Structure 1
């Protein structure tokens, strides 16, 4: 029955043809006015469904394409962009970082390290229209008992570069997050969505981790062009890349990549995953999964946050599912790359860099009001989970099949879906 229902839905979708796409848009790097995704604009969509055991039910859709950013245009315009239009205001739980190399001044300049590694045409995210949807962070975390190295987020650590492999043409680009070990601190990177009231979503992000030769404090004699994009070469041990929905430290759904791990291991968790009373991991809260494509190569990673289950995928292969601690409050989406010298991340050597490359981010989602599902995100992501599970840990998953549409409590509640559109990995 389920197979018949899915086939019928797909057939009806293929037969529909109504212009207009009010709840779908692609964020265009060359225009401040987002346009509908051309892959979906052949039909009007009442909702968006995803492949997998459950199609979900999402009223909204965004696709952020970082592969064709006109670097020259934004490089020339950088000096005319005002600081206050692109930077978030520090919250009481955060403080402005000293490690932004005058990043709070009205004009931000690319630092020498970025120029040396990626060339003069690299452009910070803060100087593009994407900054209206993704805010580069500039707060810090002080030293603590479990984090011996101070961590400082810098807006200079989030930028667009030309793809040295030219995978999508001679002018193809991608977004980069960087973390660098300095003598007395770690310079880290984080972006947070301006959507702060997510309530259920399917998030996909195409990424890879890569490395460069260590950059000495004396950068004058550093040879340019030492970016390594080979999936055979591992980045330095000591950093963590995170992709997660976030409301608080106990209402969060994570993908985490540790550069100290083998490149075919990845961490999935719903928080909390640690019991401070027993000083042990909570059974069923987290898993170390084996991935087919190493995180040193391009692959799409996905989190489905549904009312009844959380699921994690790589390249559309279901790797883990859990019903434990499913987020139940309004959330934002966070992507970061960081280190603090603690047990979880380990420590980088002074001068070492780790880079997170991102080609695109795709979100099918619902939103809700604060009155219905609590307030929005509280403070800043902790980045300090006391994870205890080992790299070799694995778990067997049992996923119940069934088709469920609607009734998630978000803005799709009690709305019909006569013309659904399927969201698949058609961007690769």
Structure 2
């Protein structure tokens, strides 16, 4: 080989990197939950979760329809489901619709009777000028002459212990209402309540959202400043815009995101024990919610809800709660739960963050010993050391020619 035809050290390096980058840039492949041993999230701290569920309200035109508000308080609480979708096992296996009211509770400073009604939870056609979906789920609250009609859905299971949940959602409507996504574990004493909230107050500036590890006040009425962060949404967004709101609950902190950007992070009194997942839209005329004018309304609208989580619930505990589905698989327990017969670490790791199709996970790796993530960032990290070694060899070889 002639000396003038030998590649320069720089050219050798460029060729080696060019050869490596296509391999590094390979996207992780779509898969399904049954092939995933656990799910790794990309939050402020990487976390593993054992289970995944996705609820898609974007293409349910066959169930769409806005029910008229029920003006009678007794009829409101006992209303039937607004469509067959809310009678399907896809819904009832996971969710319960609230019909409780605040008349028998300690109403604090509330001035209005509030009644949750199944009639305020419905599938609605998306009539945006440029609709991103056919339909969405709506939770409605409206002030009537005699009471406030409201909406709440809560998980059937009280056994969620650490999770990462996301919703593509917006809040619209009049002042004086609250919409929320949160985890909740009740207690007899206020100080023992465990709750992590995302709350939108429609009387606030439209870019402000409240994030809290409850309780945020004492029995004596003093505010606990460390429990709450009031944050503005990023990139000029406000809560009337469609945005992905995300909450990560790990053993050491609660972290909230909007469109992938961290907006609040609270380590003070982070929930510890198993809890429910709840969404609601409400007002009671109190100091916190404010007071809605008669016939005004506000709405929480959700295109989809995506969650990875760990659970303390077992088949036997579900049976004690009068669920006789012995075939149900409630998955492993703990921070990193394990499937029966497997080691405590996952051999097959998936992600809902790096997917190209919302609701469907991608495979990151399927061998516990080879934990190089199949993504652009992870791929580059894995390949760069090899490139450096090869490039060093090439440079050394080139110098030997001289």
- TM tier, shorter chain? 0.5 to 0.7
CA offset digits 1:288-336 (Å, max 9, x no partner): 1011220001001111000121101111100111211111111111000
Q: Structure 2 CA distance, aligned partners of 1:183 and 1:193?
A: 31
Q: Structure 1 CA distance, aligned partners of 2:245 and 2:56?
A: 15
Name 1:197's counterpart in structure 2: 159
1:53 corresponds to which of 44, 66, 69? 44
Name 2:182's counterpart in structure 1: 244
Q: Is structure 2 residue 265 aligned with structure 1 residue 321?
A: yes
Q: Structure 1 CA distance, aligned partners of 2:264 and 2:127?
A: 33
Alpha-carbon distance change, 165 to 103 in structure 1, aligned in 2, over 3 angstroms: same
2:245 corresponds to which of 301, 308, 312? 301
Q: Structure 2 CA distance, aligned partners of 1:315 and 1:164?
A: 23
CA offset digits 1:256-304 (Å, max 9, x no partner): 0000000100000001111223x32213111110112200010011110
Name 2:126's counterpart in structure 1: 163
Name 1:180's counterpart in structure 2: 142
Matches within 5 A, 1:265-280: 265-277=208-220, 279-280=221-222
Shift of 1:11: 6.7
2:196 corresponds to which of 253, 262, 265? 253
Q: Secondary structure at the match of 1:190?
A: strand
CA RMSD of aligned residues (A): 3.3
Q: Which one has more relative contact order, counting CA pairs under 8 Å at least 6 apart?
A: 2
Name 1:142's counterpart in structure 2: 103
Shift of 1:197: 0.7
Q: Secondary structure at the match of 2:272?
A: coil
Matches within 5 A, 1:345-356: 345-356=289-300
Q: Structure 1 CA distance, aligned partners of 2:305 and 2:137?
A: 10
Matched length: 303
Q: Structure 2 CA distance, aligned partners of 1:305 and 1:135?
A: 22
Q: Secondary structure at the match of 1:57?
A: strand
Maintained 8 Å contact 1:67/1:168: no
Structure 1: gaps of 5 or more residues? 1-9, 23-43, 76-96, 111-122, 211-234, 371-375, 378-405
Maintained 8 Å contact 1:13/1:420: no
Larger Rg: 2
Q: Structure 1 CA distance, aligned partners of 2:186 and 2:26?
A: 38
Maintained 8 Å contact 2:77/2:118: no
By percentage of residues, which structure has more helix? Answer: 2
Shift of 1:248: 1.6
Maintained 8 Å contact 1:47/1:417: yes
1:416 corresponds to which of 338, 341, 345? 345
Matches within 5 A, 1:20-419: 21-22=33-34, 44-71=35-62, 98-100=74-76, 103=79, 123=83, 126-132=86-92, 133-142=94-103, 144-165=107-128, 172-210=134-172, 235-248=173-186, 250-277=193-220, 279-292=221-234, 293-369=237-313, 408-409=334-335, 411-412=337-338, 415-419=344-348
User: Normalization by structure 1: what TM-score?
Assistant: 0.64
Shift of 1:420: 1.7
Maintained 8 Å contact 2:138/2:300: yes
Alpha-carbon distance change, 354 to 308 in structure 1, aligned in 2, over 3 angstroms: same
